[in-house]
């Protein structure tokens, strides 16, 4: 009845509204997407152009279209060529040799050589650069360039995950001449599929196809990216065909896309994971049994269903499909309130305790809802949670200082478990102050996993690592969500991947 009335009202209003729209210069007729240029929108813009300094998700998505690393990971997280066409570890795992594509060219016309590779990695390793990815390359002792198309990394210790770390755009190869001129970050000159013609921060980016790209011709002549901060407005722009393609973060908006006949939603589980971080340096989370009780009291599926509309998958610590253990095999992944109460009692907290959980407003969009569901679930074992939502930077500041009892977080994943977790779960991890927990078993397993070159043995080592981590419960891993992109149905060729990269836009085509 209400729907009928609404439809009648809307149809009755259609004619005058369209007339008004036309008079006022509003786009009154849906415009056909231009086949030569892909019109795209996202809600958050890049924060800078230096590939070695930018770590924000939005920055990486832009820079991946302009710059290239030595290797890439594909949709199944296998290492594939980028600037390097082949690579080989020495038998002792302490030397990595890469052969470069002789046809690879920077957007200034210069050939990509081993000297550029050496200069790029030296820039990353130079503390003055402030490159966050430096931590992944500390095993590099020296770099040799026997010829322009060969580069040899000499490592101080066996470091298998270094190849995966090299697939990140934070390890992009930039021209040695730009490094010398100090212009990396002010001029974007990479060897990727697109050139940056214009960047108006927080408003618009204009990219044009790089005709010299060694990957072949791009499917579109260029990409125009509009920054529309509100995702409801992005959906509206898709509906009215103002844009062909969009990146979405909010599952509440993404799940509306399939209701539009002309639109297609692409979703893929990502490596990033939603987690409740406990602070094991603060009482009573110092007690193993209290942490385990919290793990047993949380119904992860309910958190996923309520906070994220079921858009995701319950996960253990490892989110890499080839490495992950079935979560049902992990400690207390089936909710067990009785066991939780017993553990609380054994730890001397039968009456529960009070704690504060912090979260960043809108980062991720589900943070507040996750905290609320967890609050109600933990109340059943007497844990009184006070929720404190903060602006992202304030949250990051508290998080980096380890200044919280508990924190709901969305932490980034990597294609290799060592690169993903060495920052937290090794004795020398840069983010030990955030994790506040380490034991000999975790540290030993991480070091073994780093040096092991046999894939099957490596998988077994990390399976044990995951099982142990779930048991000692410094954090409560909840779920992995989806990465969402939405597109008009006449757009084809986009391949979503677990890393969230938009690199396959290089082969996207638009049918008229």
What does the binding site for other proteins look like in residue numbers (CB under 8 A)?
Answer: 10, 13-14, 17-18, 21, 24-28, 30, 41, 47-48, 53-56, 127-135, 186, 200-204, 224, 226-230, 232-233, 235-237, 239-240, 242-243, 391-394, 396-400, 409, 411, 423, 430-431, 433-434
Q: Give whichever of 72 and 423 is closer to other proteins, judged by the CB atom.
A: 423
CB of 394 to other proteins, least distance (A): 5
| Closest among 299, 276, 82 to 193, alpha carbons compared | 82
Considering the complex, what minimum distance in angstroms separates the CB of residue 377 from other proteins?
25
CB of 22 or CB of 80, closer to other proteins: 22
- Toward other proteins, which CB reaches closer, 55 or 441? 55
SS3 121: helix
CB-wise, 10 or 80, nearer to other proteins? 10
Least separation in angstroms between residue 21's CB and other proteins is 5
User: Please, which residue, 49 or 294, has the CB nearer to other proteins?
Assistant: 49
Min CB(110)–other proteins separation in Å:
24
Sort 162 into a burial class: Cβ within 10 Å, 0-12 / 13-18 / 19+: buried
Residue closer to other proteins (CB basis): 238 or 323 = 238
Work out the angle at residue 155's Cα, subtended by the Cα atoms of residues 149 and 158, and round it to the nearest 5 degrees. 120
Q: How far is the CB of 372 from other proteins (least distance, A)?
A: 22
| Cα 184 from chain centroid (whole Å) | 23
Q: Which is nearer to other proteins, 422 or 497 (CB)?
A: 422
Smallest gap from Cβ 126 to other proteins, in A, equals 9
Nearer to other proteins by Cβ, of 124 and 508: the residue is 124
Q: Looking at the DSSP assignment, which residues form a beta bridge with residue 291?
A: none
CB of residue 366 to other proteins, shortest distance in Å = 17
Residues 335, 339: Cα–Cα separation, whole Å:
9
Distance CA 101, CA 71 (A): 11
Radius of gyration of the chain from Cα atoms?
25
- For tokens 């050496």, the residue is 118
Q: Cβ of residue 98: shortest distance to other proteins, in angstroms?
A: 24
- Residue among 186 and 354 whose Cβ is closer to other proteins: 186
The closest alpha carbon to 246, from 260, 269, 263, belongs to 263
Q: How far is the CB of 171 from other proteins (least distance, A)?
A: 14
- Name beta bridge partners: 194: 209
Minimal distance in Å, beta carbon 237 to other proteins? 6
Calpha distance 207→36 (Å, rounded): 12
Cα(509)–Cα(491) distance, integer angstroms? 6
Q: 452: which DSSP letter?
A: -
Quick one: 137 or 503, whose CB is closer to other proteins? 137
**CB 111 to other proteins: min, Å:** 29
Q: What burial class does residue 490 get, using C-beta atoms within 10 Å of its C-beta: 0-12 exposed, 13-18 middle, 19+ buried?
A: middle
Cα(47)–Cα(62) distance, rounded to whole angstroms? 10
CA 51/CA 70 separation, integer angstroms: 13
Cα separation, 329 vs 351, in Å, equals 30
Reported as half-sphere exposure (CB side, CA atoms, 13 A), residue 245 has a value of: 26
From the list 244, 268, 262, 267, the residue with the least C-alpha distance to 509 is: 244
Q: Which C-beta is closer to other proteins: that of 151 or that of 235?
A: 235
- State the Cα–Cα distance between residues 352 and 205, nearest whole angstrom: 52
Distance of alpha carbon 377 from alpha carbon 298, whole angstroms: 6
Rounded to whole angstroms, the maximal C-alpha distance in the chain is: 77
CB of 244 to other proteins, least distance (A): 13
Tell me which H or E stretch contains 177.
helix 176-181
Tokens of 203: 């408003």
Q: What is the spatial distance between Cα 4 and Cα 7, in angstroms, rounded to a whole number?
A: 5
When the beta carbons of 30 and 321 are compared against other proteins, the nearer one is 30
């Amino acid at each position: 009845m209400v729907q009928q009335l609404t439809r009648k009202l809307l149809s009755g209003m259609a004619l005058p509204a369209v007339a008004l729209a036309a008079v006022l210069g509003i786009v009154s007729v849906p415009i056909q997407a231009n086949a030569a240029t892909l019109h795209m929108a996202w809600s958050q813009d890049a924060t800078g152009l230096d590939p070695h300094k930018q770590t924000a998700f939005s920055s990486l998505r832009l820079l991946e279209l302009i710059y290239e690393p030595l290797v890439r990971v594909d949709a199944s997280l296998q290492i594939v060529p980028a600037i390097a066409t082949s690579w080989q570890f020495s038998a002792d795992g302490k030397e990595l040799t890469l052969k470069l594509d002789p046809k690879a060219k920077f957007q200034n016309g210069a050939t990509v050589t081993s000297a550029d590779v050496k200069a790029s990695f030296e820039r990353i390793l130079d503390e003055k650069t402030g490159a966050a990815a430096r931590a992944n390359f500390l095993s590099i002792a020296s770099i040799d360039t026997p010829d322009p198309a060969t580069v040899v990394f000499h490592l101080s210790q066996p470091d298998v995950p270094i190849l995966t770390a090299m697939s990140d755009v934070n390890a992009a190869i930039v021209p040695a001449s730009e490094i010398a001129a100090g212009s990396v970050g002010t001029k974007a000159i990479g060897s990727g599929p697109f050139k940056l013609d214009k960047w108006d921060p927080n408003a618009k980016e204009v990219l044009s196809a790089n005709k010299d790209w060694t990957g072949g011709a791009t499917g579109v002549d260029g990409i125009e990216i509009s920054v529309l901060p509100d995702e409801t407005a992005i959906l509206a722009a898709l509906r009215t065909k103002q844009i062909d393609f969009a990146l979405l973060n909010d599952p509440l908006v993404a799940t509306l896309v399939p209701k539009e006949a002309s639109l297609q939603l692409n979703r893929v589980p990502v490596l990033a994971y939603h987690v409740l971080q406990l602070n094991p340096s603060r009482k009573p989370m110092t007690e193993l049994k209290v942490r385990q009780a919290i793990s047993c009291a949380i119904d992860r599926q309910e958190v996923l269903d309520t906070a994220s509309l079921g858009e995701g998958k319950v996960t253990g610590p490892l989110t890499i499909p080839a490495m992950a253990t079935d979560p049902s095999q992990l400690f207390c992944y089936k909710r067990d309130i009785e066991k939780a109460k017993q553990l609380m009692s054994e730890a001397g907290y039968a009456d529960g305790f009070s704690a504060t959980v912090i979260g960043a407003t809108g980062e991720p969009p589900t943070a507040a809802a996750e905290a609320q569901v967890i609050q109600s679930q933990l109340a059943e074992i007497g844990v009184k949670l006070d929720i404190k939502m903060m602006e992202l930077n304030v949250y990051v500041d508290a998080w980096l200082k380890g200044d919280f009892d508990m924190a709901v977080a969305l932490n980034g994943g990597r294609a290799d478990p060592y690169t993903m977790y060495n920052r937290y779960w090794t004795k020398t991890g840069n983010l030990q102050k955030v994790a506040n927990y380490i034991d000999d078993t975790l540290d030993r397993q991480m070091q073994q996993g780093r040096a092991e070159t046999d894939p099957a043995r490596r998988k077994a080592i990390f399976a044990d690592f995951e099982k142990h981590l779930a048991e000692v419960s410094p954090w409560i891993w909840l779920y992995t969500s989806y990465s969402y992109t939405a597109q008009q149905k006449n757009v084809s060729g986009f391949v979503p991947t677990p890393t969230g990269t938009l690199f396959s836009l290089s082969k996207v085509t638009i049918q008229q």
